[in-house]
Amino acid sequence: MKHTKRNSFRIGVGCLALAALCILPLYAQDVPDVGPHPATPRPVMESHIGKVTGHSSRAAYDYRRYCAGCHGDLGDGNGENATWLDPKPRDFTAAVFKCRSTPTGTLPTDEDLFNTIGRGLTNSNMPIWNSFDDQQRADLVAYIKTFSPRWEKEKPGEPIKVPSEPPVTIESISHGKALFTKMECWKCHGPQGKGDGPSAPTLTDSKDQPIRPYDFSSGRDDSRFKCGSTNADLYRIFMAGVDGTPMPSFADNIQPNDAWDLVHFLRTLQIHRHGKENEVLKTAGGKIPPYVEKQSNIPSIQPANGVSGGGR
C-alpha cells in the first residue's frame, strides 16, 4: 500500500484515540469516589483558622487518599483498616471529639481540629500529619465537617479560658495529691499514675471498646498527652473532659487554682521527666508532705457515664 501523508495522519489520529481509551481508565482510578452517591452530594463547608479559609470542595482527594482508609468514605470510622486498629478511628458522623478547647458536649473549634490533624493522637494510630501545609489542613477540617449535620445546626462552644499558671510550690503539689485522692482519680490512673487503678480493666468508650487510662509514670521530657503536651494542655483536658471516653469534665467541680495544683502533682508522677515540678519535689527531699485540709466542697468525681462518640 502506498504510504501517503493522509494515511500517516489517519494512523496518527487512530493511535491517539487508542491511547486516550487506555489512559482514561487509569485516570479514573485517581479520581476520588468519596460520598454515598452523586444524587446526595455533601454540603459545602468552610473552616477558618487565622487568616486561612478552608473549603471542603478542595479536600476530597486528600481525604480519600490519606484518611478514608481508617475513617471510611462516609466518615463513620469504618474504613478498610479499621478492623485492625485499636483504638478505633474517629466516627465523624457523630461530631464528638476528644481534643477540644470547648466545654464538654459542644462542637470543637476549627482550630481544635486543625491542631489535631497536625499533632496526631498519642497512643493511637492517628499520625502527625506534618506533611500537609496549612491550606490542606484547613480544607480537611472543612471536609470533616460535611459528615455530620451538627455543623449546619450548631456553633462550636466558647473556648475555655486558661488562667495564668501559679508558681509551682511543694504546697501546690501537696494539695494536688490530696485532690487526686479525694476525687478518686487513682481508681482509673492508679496510685502512682501507672494507669492500673482498680477500675482500669473495666473501662470502655461509648462504643463499648476497651480504653486504657493514661500512664503518667512512663512520661519523659518529650512525652505527650492525648490532646497536647504542656501544663496548659493538661489543665484544658481537666476542664473540657475527653468526650467519648470515661474521662469527665471537671469544670463544674473544681476551681482554677485547684486544677493547677492537680496539674503540678500529676507532673511529679512523670518520674523520668525533668521539669520544674520534680525539681521542687527534689528540693523538698523527694517526699510530698501531707496536705492540711482547708474548707473544701470538692466532691469525688466518677468516670463519665452515657458518653457519646467514641474511637480514636
Domain residue extents for the chain: 46-153, 170-283
pLDDT of residue 125: 84
Instruction: Report whether pLDDT(139) > 80.
Output: yes
Options 1.10.10, 1.10.760, 2.40.128, 1.10.287; CATH of 46-153 = 1.10.760
pLDDT at 175: 97
Q: Nine-digit cell at 250?
A: 471537671
The pLDDT confidence band at residue 206, using thresholds 50, 70 and 90, is confident
Q: Quick one: pLDDT band at residue 30, thresholds 50, 70, 90?
A: very low
Q: Helix, strand or coil for residue 54?
A: strand
DSSP string spanning 161-213?
A: P-PPPPPP-HHHHHHHHHHHHHTTTHHHH-TTSSS--TTGGG-B-TTS-B-PP
Confidence at residue 296, expressed as pLDDT on a 0 to 100 scale: 54
Phi, psi (rounded to 5 degrees) for 156: -60, 155
pLDDT value of residue 15 = 44
Q: Is the pLDDT of residue 26 over 80?
A: no
Per residue in 285-305, pLDDT (tens digit) is 999 999 987 655 555 566 665
Q: Do the beta carbons of residue 238 and residue 136 sit within 8 Å? A: no
Select 170-283's CATH number: 1.20.20.10, 2.60.40.10, 3.30.300.180, 1.10.760.10. 1.10.760.10
Q: pTM score, two decimals?
A: 0.80
Average pLDDT, the chain: 85
- Position 19 scores a pLDDT of 41
pLDDT value at residue 38: 42
pLDDT digits (tens, 9 = 90+) for 239-258: 999 999 999 999 998 999 99
More confidently predicted of 42 and 299? 42
- Do 46-153 and 170-283 come out as alike in CATH topology? yes
User: What pLDDT band is residue 231 in, cutting at 50, 70 and 90?
Assistant: very high
**55-73 pLDDT per residue, tens:** 999 999 999 999 999 999 9
